[in-house]
């Protein structure tokens, strides 16, 4: 056609005086129909792939393959490729093509990275504003892969939701069954089944494979920018119970939570009373609890600042309409962790340049002790009995108060390995011994607390082990004074017998604690005056060897390809700062990540 802009009438028709009617050529019709077929085929492939994924996650039979011939273009055959509705400018995978605001409408940026973002539009410079319900962990869970049968998975899920979750302040109570979890998150499914397998005496063969898959899923998502709530929930659950990966999971989860400003949900809850915001805030509180647990165990600074408004303002949160019983339990734990965090920071500041603590700290120690008393008065009568875990909530207040007192008063032993206890610290020394003894006695005498040995977080198991080690240490120097050696041996032997009766998996901490504590008592009974390092090496080294497989028996770490070899210090600080020089212990005596808590940071050496 020879005309202007391709519009009728054409020059030929004008010259001949004919009317000009434009008809589509056959080639045009074929091209348009081909484009329509391509678009329709792509849509069908996408829908087929989505349905296949749903069926796979539900462990249902797959659809038959598509009968329509597939295109040679791999971009069009992938069921998970984004369907392009219209043509858009390709700006590269790392750039933001969102509309740019004119300079006069933009406020001055007070965060330097925002200025660079406005200039370059690189997505990698801006934290993802996520935390919503969108899924980010595509893939197959342990059920889809056939690692755990559907029947076993449902049984383990019932164990977790029906019992274990209540020890974690019902962090996953929004879910009712396995399918509701699998629909939401692969990572969360794997985390729940791994933790349940750890606690179930009939699932020893499942724990290793489940843990491997959990680590694989979480590690593969390390560099995925988007995160969602269930991904954070999975890491919370792993950090709370899985001692050998807890430190890594907690640190990564907190960084991701900070990246999406998860703590800001505190203000959303106060202003809107949003249930959605409350769920996010519960995750934030759980991360803080895990962070404090690990800070105490490892003797390291916390990641979350103690002056965070959401932590200091937990009382206001309990006043909103969406707060429920689980929130009171969570708030009680946040409150005691704030106190213990203050204790750790206080002694860190006042013991850097001194081997022993000065007398001037006695008033501060008494003040912290009074704070613990007030915490008990506030919470002991306010936490209700539960059908699933009995009176664990209120009795747990007493357990945590004694753990806090042991943590507080044991600091006075710092630097006293070769000198007598000063008279002004005698009261604190007695309080530390009394707290340690009460911790063990309550686990032996109370049914609810004893049952909690299978369900409580690894932080509590470690603190129980620390209490036992502390009492045995006292027998080497203060027998007949602060402690009676035979009574301590009898007390710990009874605990060992109780630990062996607990119905749990063979990789659970109570198994290693029982064997290790028995070795420690035997060493103490044979040579009660031996050096503390020799005494503790007898039991702690045993726990370390049994877990990490220096013997002939395959262990969890063998299955995972892990190692507990001590790392060389590459930072020029002389001795490894994570070692325990006072005892000469290896980095690990329980199945923890590289270094376990530094015993010397508790002060009794």
Mean pLDDT over 514-524 rounds to 91
373 alpha-carbon distance from chain centroid = 29
**116/490 Cα distance (integer angstroms):** 66
* Predicted local distance difference test score (pLDDT) of residue 40: 80
302 alpha-carbon distance from chain centroid = 14
* Three-class secondary structure of residue 526 per DSSP: helix
* Three-class secondary structure of residue 479 per DSSP: strand
**342/344 Cα distance (integer angstroms):** 5
* Cβ neighbours around 490 below 10 Å, total: 12
* 48-52, 141-145, 580-584: least confidently modelled range: 580-584
Tokens of 117: 């973002």
Q: Is the pLDDT of residue 34 over 80?
A: no
Q: Is the pLDDT of residue 366 over 90?
A: yes
* Cβ neighbours around 369 below 10 Å, total: 17
The crossing angle, in degrees rounded to 10, of helices 458-477 and 509-526 is: 0
Confidence of residue 339 (pLDDT cuts 50, 70, 90): very high
**158/261 Cα distance (integer angstroms):** 33
Q: Is the pLDDT of residue 41 over 60?
A: yes
* DSSP summary character for residue 283: H
Whether 333 and 339 have beta carbons less than 8 Å apart is answered as: no
Q: Is the pLDDT of residue 342 over 90?
A: yes
* 5-19, 97-111, 478-492: least confidently modelled range: 97-111
Q: Is the pLDDT of residue 567 over 50?
A: no
* pLDDT tens-place string over residues 87-141: 334 444 444 444 444 444 445 555 576 666 566 665 555 555 544 544 444 568 9
Mean pLDDT over 57-64 rounds to 68
What residues are paired with 390 via a beta bridge?
A: 386
Torsion of CA 209, 202, 502, 246, to 10 degrees: 20
* Predicted local distance difference test score (pLDDT) of residue 75: 39
**562/558 Cα distance (integer angstroms):** 6
* Predicted local distance difference test score (pLDDT) of residue 406: 96
DSSP symbols for 1-49: --SSTTPSSPHHHHHHT--------HHHHHHHHHHHHHHHHHHHHHHHH
**331/310 Cα distance (integer angstroms):** 11
Tokens of 488: 């301590």
Confidence of residue 77 (pLDDT cuts 50, 70, 90): very low
* Predicted local distance difference test score (pLDDT) of residue 50: 82
Q: For the CA atoms of the chain, what is the radius of gyration?
A: 31
* Three-class secondary structure of residue 390 per DSSP: strand
Mean pLDDT over 164-168 rounds to 95
* 221-225, 270-274, 399-403, 424-428: least confidently modelled range: 221-225
* 91-105, 156-170, 202-216, 524-538: least confidently modelled range: 91-105
**289/456 Cα distance (integer angstroms):** 13
Confidence of residue 361 (pLDDT cuts 50, 70, 90): very high
- Measured between its terminal Cα atoms, the distance across the chain in Å is 98
* Predicted local distance difference test score (pLDDT) of residue 588: 37
Confidence of residue 68 (pLDDT cuts 50, 70, 90): low
Could you give the percent of the chain with pLDDT greater than 70? 69
* Predicted local distance difference test score (pLDDT) of residue 597: 36
**481/477 Cα distance (integer angstroms):** 9
Q: Is the pLDDT of residue 39 over 90?
A: no
Backbone angles phi, psi at 483, to 5 degrees: -140, 165
* Three-class secondary structure of residue 386 per DSSP: strand
More reliable by pLDDT, 536 or 366: 366
Confidence of residue 60 (pLDDT cuts 50, 70, 90): low
**345/209 Cα distance (integer angstroms):** 39
* Predicted local distance difference test score (pLDDT) of residue 368: 97
219 alpha-carbon distance from chain centroid = 14
**248/239 Cα distance (integer angstroms):** 8
- Using CB atoms within 10 Å of the CB of residue 401, give its burial: 0 to 12 exposed, 13 to 18 middle, 19+ buried: buried
* pLDDT tens-place string over residues 174-193: 999 999 999 999 999 999 99
What residues are paired with 122 via a beta bridge?
A: 95
* pLDDT tens-place string over residues 267-312: 999 998 889 999 999 999 999 999 999 999 988 889 998 888 999 8
* Predicted local distance difference test score (pLDDT) of residue 385: 85
* Predicted local distance difference test score (pLDDT) of residue 240: 97
* pLDDT tens-place string over residues 300-337: 889 998 888 999 888 898 888 888 889 999 999 999 99
Could you give the percent of the chain with pLDDT greater than 90? 49
* Predicted local distance difference test score (pLDDT) of residue 28: 59
472 alpha-carbon distance from chain centroid = 32
* Predicted local distance difference test score (pLDDT) of residue 424: 94
Tokens of 302: 């916390």
Tokens of 284: 């934030």
Q: Is the pLDDT of residue 194 over 80?
A: yes
The crossing angle, in degrees rounded to 10, of helices 458-477 and 426-445 is: 130
**265/277 Cα distance (integer angstroms):** 5
- Considering all CA atoms of the chain, what is the largest pairwise distance in Å, rounded to the nearest integer? 126
Alpha helix (H) ranges present in 419-569?
A: 426-445, 447-451, 458-477, 485-501, 509-526, 532-548, 556-560
Averaged pLDDT of the chain: 78
Buried b (16+ CB within 10 A) or exposed e, 405-434: bbbbbbbbbbebeeeebbeebeebbebbbe
DSSP symbols for 297-334: HHT---SS-TT-HHHHTHHHHTTSTT--HHHHHHHHHH
* Three-class secondary structure of residue 185 per DSSP: coil
Confidence of residue 503 (pLDDT cuts 50, 70, 90): very high
* pLDDT tens-place string over residues 588-600: 334 444 433 333 3
* Three-class secondary structure of residue 122 per DSSP: strand
* pLDDT tens-place string over residues 427-470: 999 999 999 999 999 999 999 999 999 999 999 999 999 999 99
């Amino acid at each position: 056609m020879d005309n202007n802009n391709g519009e009728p009438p054409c020059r030929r028709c004008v010259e001949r005086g004919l009317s000009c009617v434009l008809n589509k050529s056959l080639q045009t019709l074929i091209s348009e129909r081909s484009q329509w077929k391509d678009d329709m085929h792509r849509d069908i492939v996408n829908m087929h792939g989505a349905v296949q994924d749903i069926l796979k996650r539900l462990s249902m039979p797959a659809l038959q393959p598509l009968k329509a011939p597939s295109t040679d273009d791999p971009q069009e055959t992938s069921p998970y490729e984004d369907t392009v509705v219209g043509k858009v400018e390709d700006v590269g995978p790392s750039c933001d093509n969102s509309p740019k605001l004119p300079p006069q409408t933009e406020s001055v940026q007070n965060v330097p990275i925002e200025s660079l973002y406005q200039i370059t539009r690189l997505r990698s410079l801006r934290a993802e504003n996520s935390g919503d319900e969108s899924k980010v962990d595509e893939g197959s869970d342990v059920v889809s892969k056939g690692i755990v049968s559907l029947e076993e998975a449902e049984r383990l899920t019932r164990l977790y939701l029906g019992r274990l979750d209540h020890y974690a302040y019902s962090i996953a109570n929004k879910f009712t069954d396995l399918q509701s979890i699998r629909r939401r998150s692969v990572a969360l499914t794997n985390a729940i089944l791994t933790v349940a397998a750890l606690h179930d005496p009939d699932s020893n063969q499942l724990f290793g494979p489940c843990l491997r898959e959990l680590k694989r899923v979480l590690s593969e998502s390390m560099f995925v920018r988007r995160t969602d709530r269930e991904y954070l929930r999975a890491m919370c659950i792993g950090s709370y119970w899985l001692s050998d990966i807890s430190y890594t999971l907690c640190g990564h989860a907190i960084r991701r939570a900070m990246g999406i400003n998860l703590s800001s949900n505190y203000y959303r809850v106060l202003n809107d009373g949003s249930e959605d915001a409350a769920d996010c805030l519960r995750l934030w509180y759980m991360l803080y609890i895990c962070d404090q647990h690990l800070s105490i165990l490892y003797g390291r600074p916390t990641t979350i600042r103690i002056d965070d408004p959401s932590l200091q303002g937990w009382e206001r949160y309990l006043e909103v309409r969406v707060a429920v019983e689980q929130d009171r339990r969570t708030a009680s734990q946040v409150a005691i962790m704030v106190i213990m965090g203050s204790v750790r920071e206080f002694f860190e500041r006042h013991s850097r340049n001194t081997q022993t603590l000065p007398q001037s700290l006695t008033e501060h120690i008494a003040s912290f002790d009074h704070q613990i008393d007030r915490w008990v008065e506030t919470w002991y009568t306010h936490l209700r009995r539960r059908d699933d875990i009995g009176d664990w909530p209120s009795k747990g207040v007493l357990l945590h108060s004694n753990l806090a007192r042991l943590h507080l008063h044991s600091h006075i032993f710092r630097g006293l390995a070769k000198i007598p206890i000063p008279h002004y610290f005698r009261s604190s020394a007695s309080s530390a011994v009394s707290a340690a003894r009460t911790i063990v006695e309550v686990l032996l005498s109370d049914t609810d607390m004893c049952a909690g040995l299978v369900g409580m977080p690894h932080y509590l198991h470690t603190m129980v082990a620390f209490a036992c080690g502390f009492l045995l240490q006292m027998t080497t120097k203060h027998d007949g004074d602060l402690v009676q050696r035979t009574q301590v041996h009898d007390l710990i032997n009874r605990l060992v017998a109780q630990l062996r009766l607990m119905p749990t998996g063979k990789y659970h901490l109570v198994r290693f604690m029982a064997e290790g504590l028995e070795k420690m008592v035997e060493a103490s009974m044979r040579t009660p005056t031996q050096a503390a390092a020799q005494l503790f090496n007898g039991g702690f080294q045993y726990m370390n060897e049994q877990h990490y497989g220096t013997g002939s028996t395959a262990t969890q770490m063998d299955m995972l390809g892990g190692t507990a070899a001590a790392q060389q210090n590459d930072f020029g600080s002389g001795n490894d700062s994570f070692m325990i020089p006072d005892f000469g212990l290896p980095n690990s005596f329980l199945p923890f990540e590289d270094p376990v808590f530094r015993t010397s940071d508790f002060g009794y050496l």
